[in-house]
Amino acid sequence: APASPYPRVDVRADCGAAGDGITNDTEAFQKAAALIQEAGGGTLVIPPGTYVVGRQNHVPGEYPYYRAEPIFRVKELKFLRIEGNRAKLRLSAGLRFGSFDKDTGERYDPPALPFVDGKYAAYVGHMLDISASRDVTIRDVELDGNAGELIIGGPYGDTGRQLPACGMFLRNCKNVSIERVHSHHHALDGIMIGWYGLKEGDPAAPHSLEECVFEYNGRQGLSWIGGRGLTARRCKFNHTGRALNGGKAVASAPGAGLDIEAEESICRDGYFEDCEFVNNGGCGMVADSGDGGYSRFVRCLFWGVTNWSAWSAKPGLAFEDCTFHGSIVHAFGSDDPAQATRWTRCTFEDRPWEDGRRPYGNFLAELNGNLKNVTFEACAFTAEQCRSIWCSGQGFRMVDCVFTHKYAEVPNGDYQAVLRGGEIIGCHFREEFPDSVESRWPIIADGSRVGQEKPTVVDGPHVRWGSSQGPVGVIAAGE
């Protein structure tokens, strides 16, 4: 829909916002939402400034004790543009988040989880809450969830504090474009995108994220809980679960940079290009539950410092020209090669994090189970201070990959790599050890077939094929 028939609403000039970083401007954003809602669409103009938003009220005798007001909430619009002009929305300090006693308002710690009695729930709400709308553009705005100045209550939900507190929540929207948004320090997610009731045959509902930064959020940078057609270019999904409040992390599971987890929906046709998934409390990317996966990652950086860099347990995941520091885990095996996980021209290296910490894991990659058609092609594995790979399962293919083993602390006779039950074609096993090293280590390859199409070479002399006394040089084709 074109912009012309819809109003332009300036949150300062038309709705009385101060934008001075002190005055609470929640009412002005509520008024702007009401004007745009009434017109069925519109443009929200946010002049430069810092806008304090978010408010909770208590009505004696009503539950829960703390009740959040919406900030900017709209639905069923035919057109929405939010022009941020690099303004900041910052959540008001001192709001409650978590479980609080329904009668006294004091922190409440439930005896056991899950705990979902809404009379005890305190939440701050989502800053931008948009549902069932189309032709939505949000650009040039900073959304600061101010996690360090929340008053944290007891846990709520199945783990952590699963309550509304996102920078943006978009559900059942189509033709959405989000550009240059910095959404950080939210108690839940930087952004959550969903589409309830989506079925396999339904049309695409495109969403695009460009040059956005989602960092230091509590549960996820991005929770993708449903949709067909999500594209992210040059975005960062970093540092989830790393924000502090009173010296403690504001964190709820899964704690990922990106979680692909369809809820009452499906996730299809994800595409992530030149994105970062770095230093998250949970996995950099996790696809583990719901009818999802189905995403391509191109030239992305995954860096797992204290957790897996990527967890790929769902169909249709492909990684091209990506870099992984910290172990990946899981792959999806399938009779259909298009459904099986594949890594092409990817780099795996246990490069230390900025503070010198080794990244997560005992391997660069750790895969078990059904690995039918799971493929690594033209990938480079460099193991500085760990073993290179544990790949134990039927049906994987390792093609034109280069392994460089450098870790001399592996006990003599123990393995440097495990490649069981797959096919190995044209791979090269290099080694770089100090001259003083005398140990020998095997590449365990039980049940694997060495392909004859291209030679597989083990340089030796320390790392050997099959056993610590095994062959080096060109490895004979066959079992």
**Residue ranges per domain, the chain?**
1-187, 356-479
Strands 463-465, 213-215: pairing kind: unpaired
The residue count of the chain comes to 479
Instruction: Over range 310-335, report the average pLDDT.
Output: 99
Please check the confidence at residue 239 and state whether its pLDDT lies above 70.
yes
Please check the confidence at residue 24 and state whether its pLDDT lies above 90.
yes
Percent of the chain with pLDDT over 90: 99
Q: How confident is the model at residue 4 (pLDDT cuts 50, 70, 90)?
A: confident
Instruction: Over range 188-212, report the average pLDDT.
Output: 98
- Tell the residue number behind the tokens 């900025």, with chain if given: 354
Q: Model confidence over 358-396: pLDDT tens digits?
A: 999 999 999 999 999 999 999 999 999 999 999 999 999
Q: Do residues 433 and 406 lie in contact, with contact meaning Cβ atoms separated by under 8 Å?
A: yes
Whether the predicted model's global pTM rises above the 0.85 cut: yes
Please give the single-letter amino acid code of residue 334. Answer: S
Instruction: Over range 11-21, report the average pLDDT.
Output: 99
Instruction: Over range 392-420, report the average pLDDT.
Output: 98
Q: Model confidence over 121-149: pLDDT tens digits?
A: 999 999 999 999 999 999 999 999 999 99
Strands 256-273, 227-233: pairing kind: parallel
Mean pLDDT of the residues in the chain:
98
Burial 426-454 (b: 16+ CB within 10 A, else e): bbbbbbebeeeeebbbbbbbeebebbeee
What was the pLDDT predicted at 1?
61
Q: Do residues 160 and 182 lie in contact, with contact meaning Cβ atoms separated by under 8 Å?
A: no
What was the pLDDT predicted at 479?
67
Residue 129 β-bridge partners: 73, 169
Residue 52 β-bridge partners: 24, 90
Helix, coil or strand: residue 356: coil
The half-sphere exposure of 76 on its side-chain side, counting CA atoms within 13 A, is: 4
Q: H or E element: which one contains 271?
A: strand 256-273
Alpha carbons 100 and 117: distance in angstroms, whole number: 11
Q: Do residues 192 and 170 lie in contact, with contact meaning Cβ atoms separated by under 8 Å?
A: yes
